[in-house]
Structure formats: C-alpha cells, structure tokens
Amino acid sequence: MRGAQPWEAKSLPFTHSGIQSSTAPGTTSTGCTRANCVRNDDALFPDFKGRDLSSTAPARLEHRARDGATVADLPRQGRMLEPSGPSVGLVTIGGNDLLIGLAADRGGGMVRFERALDAFLRALPVRPVLLGTVFDPTFGDDSRNFLSVEARIARPNLNRINAIIAELAERYGQLVDVHRHFLGGDPSWFTRTIEPSLRGASEVRAVFLPAVLKSRSAKSGQQEPAPSPLPRPWWMWW
C-alpha cells in the first residue's frame, strides 16, 4: 500500500512587524499560529473548518517571530534552519522598521532595509519564501494617523517598503499582499490601534493560507509518492 507523499513543510517562522507579538503597523506572525494555518480552531473559526494544513496531511509549524523585531534581527531568527524535506517560509517584516524611523525616511534607510532583507533571503535555506506586505491600520485614511510623522511623509514610505518587499518576493518566492487585504477591513480587526485582534489574526491567515497550500501542492507534485505507513510532516517556518 502506498503512503502519502513524503513532504516536510518547514514553515518559516520569521518576524515581520508584529501581529499581537509585535508593535508595528504591519504583522502576521500569529496569523498562522494562533489563527491556525496548521490546525484550525473550528469553534472560533467555523468558516475555516477543513481548510487547514492538517486536514489533508501532517504538517508542522516552527515559529521564530519575536516581538519588536526589525530587519536587523532576521539573521538571528534564521539560525540553525536545516530543512530536511519540502518546506515553505513565511516572512513578514517592515512594520517595526517603519515605527522606529523608516516612516520619516528620506531614502538612505530604505536602501539599507532592502540590502539587509535581500541578504537574509539570499542566505535562507528554505524555498519558496512567502513574503507578506506591511498592513495599514488606518485603512488608507490619513485622519487616523497615529504616528508623530505626518501622513504625507509616512504613507509614501509605507508604500516604498511594500514595493521593496514585492520586488524581493518575485526573486525568492511569492508575495502575500496583507496590505491590500487589510484596506478592506474595519477597526474590529485591531486592538490598541496596530495589533490585530483575534479576527485580524484570522484575516492574516486568510491571506497566507492559499499561498501555503499552493506551495505544498506544487512541492508534492514534484515528488514521487514513497511507501510509508505514515506521511512525513510538511514543515512550515514562520
């Protein structure tokens, strides 16, 4: 009897700005951990019943995101990654970088951000990488600006950092446009201005999950099924 295809999904737990686990205007880390990309909480999110990774095959998530992380922290979070099978990396970064200075940047900081993120992704031993954009907790409304930086300066810089993320996503994997999805949201998606609520975390999951499932399907299609009483887990790094 042939077992399911052996694929280890290494879900790259890397930080970005921080959903509940960070204070930044863009986040996603908890989106696939607490909001259950791997195993859905059917009581909290009945619409996602049967729409998680574990519903079709074993999967594991390794979560490495940290509160307050910036692009400079990524190499430390990526240490000791040793993919042993098919895997996918989920990377969200940039929100905290904006909060600590890039929102007011005149150009040099963005160049350094791009170089640092590019170097990190190039050295990362996981492919593909799903790169999430930084969301806008003001829903595109300048009157909701909570920064000390004027919206006419901060908003273009948010767009610049997301443009950098989009360009690198083409090179190393796929873009997951959290920013675009959240523009259609409402204040119930957040707590304390920038931290996603439970609903918001599930909305992050809603954006990432199709890309994760597509990646797993593509990897499975590249391999011949191997005899096994139980399939090896697919790993997901976040």
Mean pLDDT of 169-177: 97
Q: 11-74+86-237 belongs to which CATH class? A: alpha beta
- Report the predicted TM-score, pTM, of the whole model to 2 decimal places: 0.81
Check residue 113 and give its pLDDT. 98
Q: For 111, which DSSP code? A: H
Other CB atoms within 10 Å distance of the CB of residue 185: 17
User: How would residue 1 be classed by pLDDT, with cut points 50, 70 and 90?
Assistant: very low
Please report, as a single letter, which amino acid is at residue 193.
T
Check residue 5 and give its pLDDT. 36
User: How would residue 238 be classed by pLDDT, with cut points 50, 70 and 90?
Assistant: low
Provide the 3-class DSSP secondary structure of residue 15: coil
Structure-model confidence comparison of residues 218 and 33, the more confident one: 218
